[in-house]
Amino acid sequence: MEKSLRKNFLNALHGNPVNRIPALSVTQTGTVELMDMTGAAWPEAHSDPEKMAKLAIAWHEIAGFEAVHYPYCLTVLAETMGCDVRMGTKDIQPSVLSHPFSKGPENLGIPENLLEKGRIPAVLKATEILVDMIENKKGRKIPLIAGMEGPLTVFTHIAEIKNCLIWALKKPDYFNTFMETCTELCIEYASTLFDHGADALCMPDGGIVGSRMMPPSVLEDSVKPFYKRLCRKVNGPVILHICGDAGDSLRTLSECGFEAISIEEKVSLKAAKEAIGDRARLIGNVSPSRTLLFGTPDAMKAEAKQCLSAGVDILAPGCGIAPGTPLSNIRALVEARDEWYVEKG
């Protein structure tokens, strides 16, 4: 089974038949318990490629998840664009402190020698380390999922959410200039991650879409074209993760070319499948807080089995895993998938 995990994941991502529905995470996976077990803790694991890789591989080797996901924040590209970043603590993720383009797009552009800036070299080196780990352990082929900010997230980091929304309505030329730059930034970085060995990319983006702050017309007319460009130009499969209740936007999002869409538990799986159709695969959506963080293994299994019965293509937490999540609950995700197949007969 282990040797086929990568093939099984990619088949699921492309809508092909699978041996079993993959059980994994496409979002944040760093937990304090695994940091203690591996000796690879935040905040060092955000910048040290060896620690980043060591913590990532633990999700397969210790937690049993059927993929490896890294890094552990959404500030890598913001930092390269000039944002000051607080690196956080062992149980708090990095956060953006400044917004260098809050006045407008003057002097906005992709930095020269982008791939040498900030923490990008560390992430690329961690990718190489993980590929080596995966390919040299008895021929194992575990899928490697790289995470990165999407263009809307970069936009809101460098210019602030309120400006993003105001400019979308009142200064569409500003909005388009930011989306143009942020999209090209994401395309360059994403393609490089694939060149270094990532199998898929998960792009958490559009939290302002899921929060329903962005009018549907802006998503359709001003965001969708850039998403389509990104999916067309990036040289590998892209998963879009949307926080919040993104149900009303899923049809539009599924028309952009993403291989899959990852959704939170706030979204009905039945409604999501109806909205997405066969244009993208559906990933989710076990509650990362109510169930994974504060629940029990039995509650975890019950919710996971509900997701499987509702037709998810890949079983996963509905958002990033909280650092305090107990390992027993995490392991229950794969156990639930296995039990579901037995119970189904």
Task: Phi first, then psi: give them for residue 204, nearest 5 degrees.
Answer: -65, 125
Please report where in the chains the tokens 């203690």 appear, as a residue: 36
Lowest-pLDDT range, 9-23, 120-134, 211-225, 272-286? 211-225
Q: State the pairing for strand pair 238-242/200-204.
A: parallel
Asked if residue 228 lies in contact with residue 280, where contact means CB atoms within 8 angstroms, the answer is no
> Is 1's pLDDT higher than 50?
no
Residue 309, both tokens: 């019965």
Give the Cα separation of 128 and 287 in Å (integer). Answer: 32
Q: Residue 262: beta bridge partners?
A: 241, 283
**192-226 tens-digit pLDDT:** 999 999 999 999 996 777 667 888 899 999 999 99
**41-65 tens-digit pLDDT:** 999 999 999 999 999 999 999 999 9
pLDDT score at 209: 77
Give the Cα separation of 219 and 199 in Å (integer). Answer: 28
Asked if residue 281 lies in contact with residue 259, where contact means CB atoms within 8 angstroms, the answer is yes
Q: Which amino acid is at 205?
A: D
Distances (CA, A) of 70 to 30, 62, 148, 203: 9, 15, 9, 12
pLDDT score at 248: 87
As a whole number, mean pLDDT of residues 65-87 equals: 97
Please report where in the chains the tokens 């690329």 appear, as a residue: 124
**295-336 tens-digit pLDDT:** 999 999 999 999 999 999 999 999 999 999 999 999 999 999
pLDDT level of residue 137 (50, 70, 90 thresholds): low
pLDDT score at 246: 85
Please name the residues in contact with 230: beta carbons below 8 A apart, sequence gap of 6 or more: 150, 151, 183, 186, 187, 190, 238
